[in-house]
Amino acid sequence: MALPKPGLLGWQLPKPGLLGWQLEDEIRRLKKERNAILLAHYYQESDIQDLADHVGDSLGLARAAQKATADVIVFAGVHFMAEVAKILNPERIVVLPDFTAGCSLADGCPPEAFRHFLDAHPGHTVVSYINCSAAVKAMSDIICTSSNAVKIIEQIPRDQPIIFAPDQHLGRFVAKQAGRDLVLWPGSCIVHETFSEKKILALKLRHPDAELIAHPECEESVLRHANFVGSTTALLKYAVTSKADTIIVATEEGILHSMRRDAPQKTFIPAPPEDESCACNQCPHMRKNTLEKLYLCLRDLEPRLELDEPLRLAAKRPIDRMLEMSTGV
């Protein structure tokens, strides 16, 4: 496959005046030309979700990346997700539209500090949420996502002490579900921490028949009012099958696009953040990806994920363990 070369002035911008639908056509054309697969997370803007070959949660997207046969994987999500795709596909080109699309959980768990934390708790099995860097994965025994975390913890012998990182709220939720004590790294998601218990309760008073569904990255003060707690895919499935006509959704609001598409007769209300004047229930990292950047990364096959082989292999081991331990999820 011939790769484009950067011009003298660097990578060119899309042709000025390209309209939304023209960009979409160009993206479809380039996807074919490059033999590329587009994986998108539910938190991506709706236009990107609609163009994707596979929309999913972190586990679903890791599995889709594992099965990929295309020459190029375009990952419309955040950096750690594209990194997982590269860890599983060293021979394929993996690009993401905006290389700076990080994650407050991954950024809040620097590898050096994590090493000190592990040294302070010797003899523990280290279970890390997939929202972390390759370097943190390489120091972990097993990776988990929000859809398999409980199942994975339950498979570890009860007398074995466990460190859970980097999301303390997911860790607390899992500890409660599995009836285990976990040593928690004190990280959190900037989006899920903004939901306000007080405002959600006020909303429930205005919609007495509404159900509340929440992602386990939310604080316990929100989770305790939820009719259902689950990963983004689990929330979507629940939203479609629940008998409730109105559902309050406590997770990033991008998922409402898939919910409204799959259950158009229902009313979905985004859970309110504490400060309702901000768009705090949109992940600023996920939203860095735009149609324009998606077009550019397909055209230029940049920015690319690259990993040193020893780091890739060390980070792959706990991901493989997760995939082995999550059959049936």
Torsion (CA) 6, 10, 15, 18 in degrees, nearest 10: 100
Residue 185 token pair: 């790294």
95 φ/ψ angles, rounded to the nearest 5 degrees: -125, 155
Residue 100 token pair: 């700076």
Closest to ligand 13P by CB, 57 or 83: 57
Residue 27 token pair: 């993206």
Torsion (CA) 254, 256, 260, 263 in degrees, nearest 10: 130
The residue count of the chain comes to 329
Window of 169-177, 233-241, 282-290, 301-309 that interacts with ligand SF4 by CB under 6 A: 282-290
Q: State the binding partner of 128 from ligand SF4, ligand 13P, none, CB within 5 to 8 A by kind.
A: none
Closest to ligand SF4 by CB, 26 or 146: 146
Nearest to 28 by CA among 37, 39, 16: 37
| The binder of ligand 13P chosen from 26, 57, 211, 300 (CB under 6 A) | 57
Residues of span 288-327 touching ligand SF4 by CB under 6 A: none
- Return d(Cα 98, Cα 41) in angstroms, integer: 14
Residues of span 286-325 touching ligand 13P by CB under 6 A: none
Residue 25 token pair: 């056509």
- Return d(Cα 270, Cα 252) in angstroms, integer: 8
Closest to ligand SF4 by CB, 34 or 285: 285
DSSP 209-273: T-EEEE-TTS-HHHHTT-SEE--HHHHHHHHHH-S-SEEEEES-TTHHHHHHHH-TTSEEEEPPB
Q: Is 83 in the site for ligand SF4 (CB under 6 A)?
A: no
What is the smallest separation between the CB atom of 5 and ligand SF4, expressed in angstroms? Answer: 33
What is the smallest separation between the CB atom of 285 and ligand SF4, expressed in angstroms? Answer: 5
* Contact track, ligand 13P, 175-214, x by CB under 6 A: --------------x-------------------------
What is the smallest separation between the CB atom of 231 and ligand 13P, expressed in angstroms? Answer: 3
Closest to ligand SF4 by CB, 26 or 252: 252
| The binder of ligand 13P chosen from 27, 36, 52, 58 (CB under 6 A) | 58
Residues that bind ligand 13P (CB under 6 A): 57-58, 131, 145-146, 189, 215, 217, 231-232
